[in-house]
């Protein structure tokens, strides 16, 4: 399990920074905070805002993986565990919490009486054993009771959680002011529990990960993707289905991982996902370097990378060479932080079921290979794009979100959106194309071509333009791997049939739009766009229809413009033999490149003419 070794190294190299969870600790979303003094006297209580809810808590081997049964947390926990008077106020099946409270107070007492005790543990124990927590919370207005029954109101919630199920954390005010009163941030309390927990653990075996004889565990942490995540990455509790049957007679023979290794590896993964990962639906992905150097955002286009990472640089790639220069500059900006033996790891985890987490992707590579692949991706997927915000044409590539949305999404008002499930699956397929240099999937190219060939499916013309630009960029990427047209501007020497037919479509579109009144330009749907989809499947037959419908608009144009568009049309048709022109078979994706290239060529020509006038 190389990914486990790499995560363990991340923990060992970064555990002193204060950001990683300590061993034998996890997180929980707390809804209530109780303040007591060092002797255990109640001071106050409050409901916690969701923005401040995440709380670091000590956990035992059992409580850290609890899903059912009675497994109390050692310190902070839910009311059903810590409130001795819970049964006097609660209603429902679990209103009698005697066994829960007994297990909690007994475990807390064991820690209090050990040589690894802590002032906060003594204070909480002294307060909890008074059996007055619910009473205190009701008296200060944190919990609500029904006036007629005196029981907790069932429909009252705190931060979206039923009040009877609230999780409680403690603040301890000390007279000497030397200790951290927020117990969930007290490092001395972390150390105290770690020593206590280590002292009571047994079951020493050979750890398959480290090769040392250490206390092992078969109860591994959850809450990997977020504080509410119940799915586990490692599990061996299938003793009825016997997943390991055929090779091993029991789970101990199948594998053994030390508690310390499991805690550090899982905590490192949690930290990486929170610190520099991203999530889509149930998928969470983390990208990191061996020495935690900065890594580029693999999901973003080049302009987003510049805005996020190089805020002092204005991204204006108005030429192909400028785009290439910015790619080189960005890659160098990151790569200079790396040594020759640095590695980059990409790991994605996804929930196969509610309780099981799978490694949906993992790769590790030399940093030089990683950056070469990133550079190649940005260079080979770039295309001329319209920047609507600044009303200009730029050269830029595409984010994975854009590619997935344009290929498999639908128009939702002003945006194109993809269902989360499709987005997740597409991301898993495309990330290796970015980071490992894998071939671009041909089915995604075809999906983009189908969407770009149907402008009538979009109410907003700019949404179709975005799909068309994305399709062209990915066709160019696919061609760079498999042979074909890769230029980003019009090539007058190109004789490919599909490419030339795309140029004809661009001429018909531009000529008709040119004949519109000023207020209709760019807004009315041209016949070229109306018949676009049919044209892509039967170009020769459909071209005749488009040409007929174009004639009235051509006659409206001034003499010079009419001659201009006629000459363009004849020049393109002159590059095709009669046999090639009469071929009515469906066009290849290159026709979209021809359309995009020649549209830009016409725009450049007419802009120059207007400037001269």
Q: For 274-333, what is each residue's pLDDT tens digit?
A: 999 999 999 999 999 999 999 999 999 998 887 766 766 677 888 899 999 999 999 998
Same domain, 134 and 215: no
The pLDDT of residue 242 is above 60: no
The whole-angstrom separation of Cα 304 and Cα 460 is: 24
CA dihedral of 269, 192, 197, 8, whole degrees rounded to 10: 20
The pLDDT value given to residue 483: 95
Mean pLDDT across the chain: 91
Tell me what the mean pLDDT of segment 214-240 comes to: 81
Residues 6+ apart with CB under 8 A from 482: 439
Distances (CA, A) of 296 to 330, 334, 440: 9, 7, 20
The pLDDT of residue 602 is above 70: yes
8 Å CB contact between 590 and 499: yes
The pLDDT value given to residue 613: 37
Note the helical H segments in 227-366.
Answer: 251-254, 259-276, 302-309, 320-335
Same domain, 266 and 370: no
Higher pLDDT, 309 or 573: 573
Residue 348 domain-assigned (yes or no): yes
The SS3 of residue 561 is helix
The whole-angstrom separation of Cα 512 and Cα 556 is: 9
Same domain, 354 and 397: yes
The pLDDT value given to residue 254: 74
The whole-angstrom separation of Cα 595 and Cα 563 is: 20
Alpha carbon 404 to its chain's center: 13
Residues 6+ apart with CB under 8 A from 578: none
The whole-angstrom separation of Cα 527 and Cα 68 is: 65
Residue 122 domain-assigned (yes or no): yes
Residue 13 domain-assigned (yes or no): yes
Q: Which residue carries 């984010």 as its tokens?
A: 399
Q: Cα-flanking dihedrals φ and ψ of residue 78, to 5°?
A: -75, 160
Same domain, 410 and 469: yes
Q: Which residue carries 């409270």 as its tokens?
A: 101
Token pair listed for 194: 């770690």
Same domain, 18 and 38: no
Residue 457 domain-assigned (yes or no): yes
The pLDDT value given to residue 518: 77
Which residues span the domain enclosing 39? 31-183
Higher pLDDT, 557 or 504: 504
The whole-angstrom separation of Cα 430 and Cα 285 is: 13
The pLDDT value given to residue 243: 59
Same domain, 352 and 416: yes
The pLDDT of residue 612 is above 50: no
The pLDDT value given to residue 42: 97
Distances (CA, A) of 229 to 223, 226, 232, 283, 353: 4, 5, 8, 12, 12
8 Å CB contact between 197 and 189: no
Name the residue among 186, 177, 152, 181 with its Cα closest to residue 79: 152
Same domain, 179 and 304: no
The whole-angstrom separation of Cα 557 and Cα 551 is: 10
Residue 196 domain-assigned (yes or no): no
pTM for this entry: 0.85
The pLDDT of residue 141 is above 50: yes
Residue 488 domain-assigned (yes or no): no
Model confidence pLDDT, tens digit, residues 172-208: 999 887 789 999 999 999 999 999 998 888 788 888 8
Q: What number of other Cβ atoms are within 10 A of residue 122's Cβ?
A: 18
The whole-angstrom separation of Cα 89 and Cα 53 is: 25
Name the residue among 129, 78, 84 with its Cα closest to residue 108: 129
pLDDT band at 611 (very low <50, low <70, confident <90, very high): very low
DSSP 433: H
User: Rg for the chain (alpha carbons), in Å?
Assistant: 32
The pLDDT value given to residue 164: 94
Give the percent of the chain with pLDDT over 70: 96
Note the helical H segments in 277-397.
Answer: 302-309, 320-335, 367-380
Name the residue among 131, 126, 125 with its Cα closest to residue 111: 125
Residue 388 domain-assigned (yes or no): yes
Name the residue among 165, 297, 142, 163 with its Cα closest to residue 228: 165
Same domain, 516 and 476: no
User: E strand or H helix at 546, and its extent?
Assistant: helix 539-556
Q: Among 61-75, 260-274, 589-603, where is mean pLDDT lowest?
A: 61-75
The pLDDT of residue 583 is above 90: yes
Domain boundary among 243, 258, 273: 273
Same domain, 336 and 446: yes
The pLDDT value given to residue 69: 86
Same domain, 110 and 232: no
Same domain, 162 and 208: no
Tell me what the mean pLDDT of segment 60-84 comes to: 91
Domain boundary among 222, 251, 273: 273
The pLDDT of residue 49 is above 50: yes
The whole-angstrom separation of Cα 399 and Cα 305 is: 10
Long-range contact set of residues 324-331: C-beta below 8 Å, sequence gap at least 24 = 324/379, 326/302, 327/302, 327/375, 327/378, 327/379, 328/375, 330/296, 330/302, 330/305, 330/306, 330/378, 331/296, 331/371, 331/374, 331/375
Q: To 5 degrees, how large is the angle CA 591–CA 592–CA 594?
A: 60
8 Å CB contact between 210 and 11: no
Side-chain-facing half-sphere of 477: CA atoms under 13 Å: 33
Render 496-522 in DSSP notation, one character per residue.
-HHHHHHHHHHHHHHHHHHHS-GGGTT
Q: Among 65-69, 161-165, 268-272, 449-453, where is mean pLDDT lowest?
A: 65-69
Give the bridge partners for 387, in sequence order.
Answer: 392
Residue 169 domain-assigned (yes or no): yes
Q: How many domains does the chain have?
A: 4
Render 142-202 in DSSP notation, one character per residue.
SS-B-TTT-SBPTT-EETTEEGGG-EEEEEEE-SSS-S-SBGGG-HHHHHHHHHHHHHH--
Same domain, 61 and 48: yes
Tell me what the mean pLDDT of segment 387-400 comes to: 89
Model confidence pLDDT, tens digit, residues 519-532: 777 678 999 999 99
Domain boundary among 218, 242, 273: 273
Token pair listed for 122: 């003594």
Q: Cα-flanking dihedrals φ and ψ of residue 230, to 5°?
A: -100, -10
Give the bridge partners for 286, in sequence order.
Answer: 347
Alpha carbon 477 to its chain's center: 23
Q: What number of other Cβ atoms are within 10 A of residue 310's Cβ?
A: 14
């Amino acid at each position: 399990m190389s990914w486990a070794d790499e995560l363990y190294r991340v923990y060992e190299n970064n555990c002193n920074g204060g950001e990683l969870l300590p061993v034998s600790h996890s997180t929980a979303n707390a809804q209530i905070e109780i303040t007591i003094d060092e002797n255990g006297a109640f001071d106050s209580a409050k409901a916690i805002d969701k923005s401040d809810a995440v709380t670091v808590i000590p956990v035992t081997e059992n409580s850290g993986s609890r899903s059912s049964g009675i497994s109390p947390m050692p310190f902070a926990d839910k009311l059903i565990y810590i409130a001795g008077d819970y049964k006097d106020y609660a209603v429902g099946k679990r209103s009698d919490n005697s066994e829960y409270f007994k297990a909690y107070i007994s475990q807390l007492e064991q820690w209090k009486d050990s040589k690894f005790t802590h002032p906060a543990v003594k204070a909480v124990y002294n307060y909890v054993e008074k059996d007055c927590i619910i009473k205190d919370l009701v008296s200060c207005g944190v919990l609500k009771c029904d006036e007629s029954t005196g029981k907790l109101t069932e429909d009252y919630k705190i931060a979206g959680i039923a009040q009877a199920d609230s999780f409680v954390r403690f603040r301890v005010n000390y007279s000497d002011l030397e200790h951290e009163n927020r117990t969930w941030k007290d490092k001395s309390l972390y150390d105290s529990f770690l020593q206590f927990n280590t002292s009571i653990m047994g079951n020493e075996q050979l750890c398959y990960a480290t090769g040392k004889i250490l206390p092992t565990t078969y109860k591994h942490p959850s809450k990997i993707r977020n504080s509410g995540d119940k799915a586990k990455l490692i599990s061996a509790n299938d003793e009825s289905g016997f997943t390991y049957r055929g090779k091993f007679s029991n789970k101990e023979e199948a594998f053994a991982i030390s508690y310390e290794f499991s805690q550090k590896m899982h905590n490192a993964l949690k930290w990486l996902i929170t610190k520099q990962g991203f999530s889509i639906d149930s998928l969470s992905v983390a990208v990191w370097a061996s020495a935690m150097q900065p890594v580029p955002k693999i999901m973003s286009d080049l302009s987003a990378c510049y805005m996020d990472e190089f805020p002092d640089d204005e991204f204006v790639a108005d030429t192909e060479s400028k785009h290439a220069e910015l790619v080189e500059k960005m890659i160098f900006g990151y790569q200079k932080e790396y040594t020759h033996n640095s590695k980059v790891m990409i790991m994605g985890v996804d929930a196969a079921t509610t309780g099981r987490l799978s490694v949906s992707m993992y790769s590790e590579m030399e940093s030089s290979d990683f950056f070469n692949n990133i550079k190649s991706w940005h260079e080979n997927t770039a295309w001329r794009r319209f920047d609507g915000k600044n009303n200009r044409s730029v050269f830029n590539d595409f984010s994975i979100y854009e590619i997935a949305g344009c290929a498999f999404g639908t128009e939702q008002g002003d945006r194109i959106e993809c269902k989360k499930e499709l987005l997740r699956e597409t991301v898993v397929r495309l990330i290796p194309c970015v980071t490992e240099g894998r071939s671009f999937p041909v089915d995604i190219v075809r999906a983009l071509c189908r969407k770009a060939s149907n402008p009538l499916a979009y109410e907003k013309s700019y949404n179709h333009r975005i799909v068309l630009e994305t399709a062209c960029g990915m066709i160019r990427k696919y061609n760079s791997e498999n042979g074909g047209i890769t230029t980003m501007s019009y090539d007058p020497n190109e004789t490919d049939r599909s490419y030339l037919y795309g140029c004809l479509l661009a001429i018909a579109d531009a000529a008709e739009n040119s004949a519109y009144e000023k207020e209709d330009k760019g807004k009315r749907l041209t016949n070229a766009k109306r018949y676009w989809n049919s044209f892509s499947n039967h170009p020769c037959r459909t071209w005749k229809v488009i040409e007929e419908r174009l004639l009235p608009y051509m006659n409206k144009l001034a003499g010079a413009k009419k001659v201009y568009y006629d000459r363009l049309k004849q020049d393109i048709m002159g590059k095709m033999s009669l046999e090639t022109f009469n071929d009515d078979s469906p066009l290849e994706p290159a026709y979209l490149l021809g359309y995009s290239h020649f549209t830009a060529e016409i725009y450049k020509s007419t802009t120059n003419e207007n400037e001269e006038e």
